Structures are given as structure tokens and as C-alpha cells.
Amino acid sequence: MLKPKQLLTVSAAEYLTVGEAATELGVKETAIRNYLAWGKMTTFKFKMLTLISKREVEDWKKRQKAA
């Protein structure tokens, strides 16, 4: 896994939790955690939370529709 980027502050408008990202993409949380571990998605950490950029999730959704 790539080293997570540490955040000092978080805006709910910019980041999703692993569970929220999984719901948005229609996959299980395990799949999101695998993507993070394999370096396919960028990991952000805020305190004990693992977060994913909403922009990155939107990009994944666009790629899913195109496939």
C-alpha cells in the first residue's frame, strides 16, 4: 500500500469514507480496501478515518459507465 496522505482538516464535501465510496460505486467495502492496498486509489487519513476523494470516486464512476 502506498503511504496515505495525512489530512489536518476534512471537508465532508470533498471526501468519502470507505463505506460511502463503496456505496457510490456499487461494490463491497472489501473491494475499495483492495483498491487502496494495491495503490489504485489514493488513501487519505484523518485521525483514525480512511478517506477517499469524492473527485476520484466520480472519476471511477465515469470509467465504469464507459466500460
Q: What is the pLDDT of residues 35-56, one digit of tens each?
A: 999 999 998 999 888 999 999 9
Query: What residue has cell string 466520480?
Result: 58
pLDDT tens digit string along 12-25? 789 999 999 999 99
CATH class of the domain comprising 14-66:
mainly alpha
Q: What does the chain come to in residues?
A: 67
Question: What mean pLDDT do residues 7-11 have?
Answer: 78
Rounded to two decimals, the pTM is 0.82
Q: Please compute, for residue 7, the number of CA atoms within 13 A of its CA located in the half-sphere on the CB side.
A: 18
From residue 45, give the alpha-carbon distance in Å to each of 15, 59, 67.
Answer: 10, 20, 30
| 44-46 and 15-17 beta bridge pairing | unpaired
The residue extents of the domains of the chain are 14-66
Grid cell at residue 14: 470533498
Amino acid found at 27: V
Cell of 2: 502506498
